[in-house]
Amino acid sequence: MDKSPYFTYLESRNSSMKFTSAGQLIDPRTVGYRSLGFGEALSIPASPYELRINHSDLPPSFLDVADTFNAECRTDDLAQGSVDIPELAELGYPSFRALLQEHPDLAARLIQDYLYFELFFFLLPNSSALKVVINSITSVHSRENVIILTGETFAARSARQ
């Protein structure tokens, strides 16, 4: 099974990232995501999933990309003379780490609306041993320092048919 540097990082921290699909606990190293057609209706059976990850276990590389996103929002808003994400502007475009601590609902919304592919890229390795594929996101929430994503998955073998 492929092992990304992020999984080495998680193992060194004794991470509590948890992925369930159809009520079954799934090894996150066997989970992928649909890059083309993400969120589109499926003609194959789908199952609900839930991914839970502690704020402190979010990959540093993802946090850096999210910080860059916030900074680029500021630059774009100033250049265009209009604000795309008013809540982010009102807070002064803080770092993503600061959002997680002080405004976790906004951090969750940014993941759901803008940063989900980046999060999946850093969380889920490009594995040859895939069991399930994330097809969509229904919701992203932050509760008690945990990001919770829900949506639909499908069996990886169906993806090859």
CB 101 within 8 A of CB 114: no
The helix-helix angle for 116-123 and 60-80 (nearest 10°) equals 160
Q: Cα–Cα distance between 90 and 85 in angstroms, integer?
A: 9
Per-residue tens of pLDDT for the chain, all 161 residues: 444 554 544 444 446 799 999 999 999 999 999 989 999 999 999 999 999 999 999 999 999 999 999 999 999 999 999 999 999 999 999 999 999 999 999 999 999 999 999 999 999 977 778 999 999 999 999 999 999 999 999 998 744 44
Which among 85, 135, 79 is positioned nearest to 110, based on CA atoms?
85
Contact status, residue 114 vs residue 18, Cβ threshold 8 Å: no
pTM > 0.75: yes
> How far, in Å, are 2, 12, 68 from residue 17 at the CA level?
18, 13, 24
With tokens 């540093």, the residue in question is 60
Residues ≥6 apart with Cβ < 8 Å to 82: none
